[in-house]
Amino acid sequence: MNNFSSRTLWRFGYSARLLKTNHFRTAASNTSFPAVWILSAQYSGRIPGLFLVVKKNRFFTMPETVEDKANLELYSPHPEVRGMTLLDREAFKRTVVVPVLKVKKEIVNTVLKSLKHTVLQRPGLKRVAEDPEDGDSRLVILDPHKIPGFSLGESEQEILKELNVCPEVSKYNLELTYENFKSEEILRAVLPEGQEVTSGFSRVGHIAHLNLRDHQLPYRHLIGQVIIDKNPGITCVVNKTNIIDSTYRNFQMEVLAGEGNLITKVKENNIAYELDFSKVYWNPRLSTEHSRIVELLKPSDVLFDVFAGIGPFAIPAAKKKCHVFANDLNPESYNWLLHNCKLNKVDNKIKAFNMDGRDFLLGPVREELSKELPLLKEEPKTSFHIVMNLPALAIEFLDVFRHLLVGEPCSTAGLPMVHCYGFSKHDDPAKDIQERAEASLGTSLDGRCSTHLVRNVAPNKEMLCISFQIPADVLYKRPCPDEGKPASKRLRASKDSSEEKLLS
**From the annotation, which residues make up the binding site for S-adenosyl-L-methionine?**
290, 328-329, 356-357, 389
Which bin fits 440, alpha (ψ -120 to 50), beta or left (φ > 0)?
alpha
Q: Which helix (H) or strand (E) holds 26?
A: helix 22-29
DSSP 3-state of 56: coil
Q: What does the DSSP assignment read for 105-168?
A: GGGHHHHHHHTTTTB---TTS-SEEE-TT-TTEEEEEB-TTTSGGG---HHHHHHHHHTT----
Q: Which helix (H) or strand (E) holds 385?
A: strand 384-388
Side-chain half-sphere exposure of 57, counting CA atoms within 13 A: 16
CA distances from 441 to 251, 402, 414, 434, 477 (A): 31, 6, 19, 10, 14
Q: How far apart are CA 382 and CA 414, in angstroms?
A: 8
Question: Residues forming the annotated binding site?
Answer: 290, 328-329, 356-357, 389
Helix, strand, coil % in the chain, rounded to nearest 5: 35, 25, 40
Q: How far apart are CA 460 and CA 429, in angstroms?
A: 10
- 52-55/37-39 β-pairing: antiparallel
Q: How far apart are CA 359 and CA 392, in angstroms?
A: 18
DSSP 3-state of 419: strand
Whether 80 and 125 have beta carbons less than 8 Å apart is answered as no
DSSP 3-state of 410: coil
Q: How far apart are CA 358 and CA 271, in angstroms?
A: 29
- 476-477/405-406 β-pairing: parallel
